[in-house]
Structure 1
């Protein structure tokens, strides 16, 4: 019988996580299955199948380095492990999954993988970051925006955990600006990606993107049916289709693009303010050094 997704009834200490990697039975007393409201469990058979394909590709050196595999794996993890957002908010379930597939965690981040790769925020935890990228950056059944978003680590690190990207049209237009896929845009540098994240935070402080873009209209019924149907493929070499939801319309995308452009237009003011503060700190440091020389003379 295929294994099912589990969770823990409490967090595990660092030494417990280390022991569990070698022998899961040592923390078995703290484990339980994730059980849905209809008393069903979540099979890991599709994810097991995906990871077998993944390791075959690793053996054939399909990626130049470990981070490059993220763009391939993220949409497929979302398609294989079909969760509701509520289920995906359980950090201890992600910890359980990381220990279950600990080979992946140590391959991706090394034997001394940081603690937040086992249990951490959605932009850091090993599997949560893949799944949530698939969920937040897809456009209906289209996973290609997810692939584009994960071309560079700066994007996931800077945006995935931010409330603004819960708005799907806004997330789509941020991706389009940063990766240069718009006809009027060029690929942003890592520093520019981080700068845009700061300007978005400042521009939307106290005013969520929904004010200008309109309310998020998640197609909850279609998504729920997709989750319940489960993944049926064993062929993970081609890009899967996501849930056939109708969450976004052209008006929302146009409004989102205008908002993203306005946020990006603030960058020069932000850089100028940062440079002014940095210059003032430098002047203050020089004055302090001069004062020290005078007092010591």
Structure 2
């Protein structure tokens, strides 16, 4: 069964050998330090272990592509409320006890000085947009359109969305999240270059504009159906495993207002057209970068917890 593992326990038992995969974290000690979650079916570790094993098998030679496959299936398997998902100790337990090998497989860096590459400590125990499993669950949650995980797959194809866009205050507003993806999906379809730079430019511009434009007034969202969400969570006791070759279905808690997304699209398209692009390749060569618009916040609000 899953448990809750405090940050202090992770700090005590993580080290270079664990981060490189040369040693497995001490399972007995970690389980003793963890607080159990109970016996509900949704807290079983086996379905998660099966998923990560399949992800490593399918994407052996293209690790970043595993994100888009695993995120919706992780969300559909680990059914819970946002308040439950905000518990960092849960993700600590999954990373250190259930699947530390996946953390290393997915996030190990390049070999240095003849030694093996390592995953940073934040991939085991870190913010929701950095921790290996938390970032995937939240990507599926923030970018799904009701039961449709399709937008989440698109978000996970763009690593800068996971690394930067998910930090933004405004991403909790569902029409904003969907409109951002619509603009980026258009760039993907057109074969635009420097897509990562465009993701970051759009994210910064949308967040900065949000300090003066009230998106929930310009594009109101329907309230989520909390009863439908709870029904979906309760159904975990009898639900079949998430399918591997088609997307699972999320909770029927309401689709995003289409008219609201349409209202934001021209605004966001213009923001991207006018936003300065940060050319990371030029920055590496010592070329000064354009200034990012002021008023940008990369903090995550408590509203979605």
1:14 alignment counterpart: 11
1:26 alignment counterpart: 29
Q: 1:213 to 1:57 in 2, by over 3 A?
A: closer
1:260 alignment counterpart: 268
Which of 229, 237, 248 is residue 256 of structure 2 equivalent to? Answer: 248
- Cα deviation, 1:142-162, whole Å, max 9, x if unaligned, reads 111111111121121121121
Q: For structure 2, which runs of at least 5 residues remain unmatched after alignment?
A: 109-116, 280-287, 292-305
Q: Which stretch shifts more, 256-265 or 111-120? A: 256-265
Contact map agreement 1:164 1:208 (CA 8 A) in 2: no
Q: TM-score, normalised by structure 1?
A: 0.78
1:82 alignment counterpart: 79
Contact map agreement 2:278 2:289 (CA 8 A) in 1: no
CA offset at residue 254 of structure 1? 1.6
CA offset at residue 13 of structure 1? 5.0
Q: For structure 1, which runs of at least 5 residues remain unmatched after alignment?
A: 272-277, 282-297
Contact map agreement 1:143 1:239 (CA 8 A) in 2: yes
Q: Which stretch shifts more, 63-72 or 226-235? A: 226-235
Which of 119, 123, 128 is residue 113 of structure 1 equivalent to? Answer: 119
Distance 1:156 1:118 in 2: 16
CA offset at residue 53 of structure 1? 4.9
Q: TM-score, normalised by structure 2?
A: 0.76
Which of 245, 253, 272 is residue 237 of structure 1 equivalent to? Answer: 245
Q: 1:120 to 1:191 in 2, by over 3 A?
A: same
How many residues are matched?
266
CA offset at residue 211 of structure 1? 2.6
Contact map agreement 2:221 2:257 (CA 8 A) in 1: no
Structure number with greater CO (CA < 8 Å, separation at least 6) is 2
Q: Which stretch shifts more, 13-22 or 123-132? A: 13-22
2:295 alignment counterpart: none
1:48 alignment counterpart: 46
- Cα deviation, 1:148-205, whole Å, max 9, x if unaligned, reads 1111211211211212111111111111111227989957611111111111121112
Contact map agreement 1:82 1:227 (CA 8 A) in 2: yes
Which of 63, 68, 81 is residue 66 of structure 1 equivalent to? Answer: 63
Q: 1:228 to 1:279 in 2, by over 3 A?
A: closer
Q: 1:64 to 1:208 in 2, by over 3 A?
A: farther
Contact map agreement 2:51 2:74 (CA 8 A) in 1: no
Distance 1:280 1:239 in 2: 40
Distance 1:195 1:279 in 2: 12
Contact map agreement 1:10 1:30 (CA 8 A) in 2: no
Contact map agreement 1:178 1:187 (CA 8 A) in 2: no
CA offset at residue 50 of structure 1? 5.1
Report which of the two structures shows the higher radius of gyration computed on alpha carbons. 1
Q: 1:181 to 1:199 in 2, by over 3 A?
A: closer
- Cα deviation, 1:7-40, whole Å, max 9, x if unaligned, reads 13553353423489432222344311236xxxx6
Q: 1:279 to 1:215 in 2, by over 3 A?
A: closer
Distance 1:63 1:153 in 2: 18
Q: Secondary structure at the match of 2:230?
A: helix
Which of 177, 180, 190 is residue 174 of structure 1 equivalent to? Answer: 180
1:289 alignment counterpart: none
Q: Secondary structure at the match of 2:8?
A: coil
Which of 143, 148, 151 is residue 142 of structure 1 equivalent to? Answer: 148
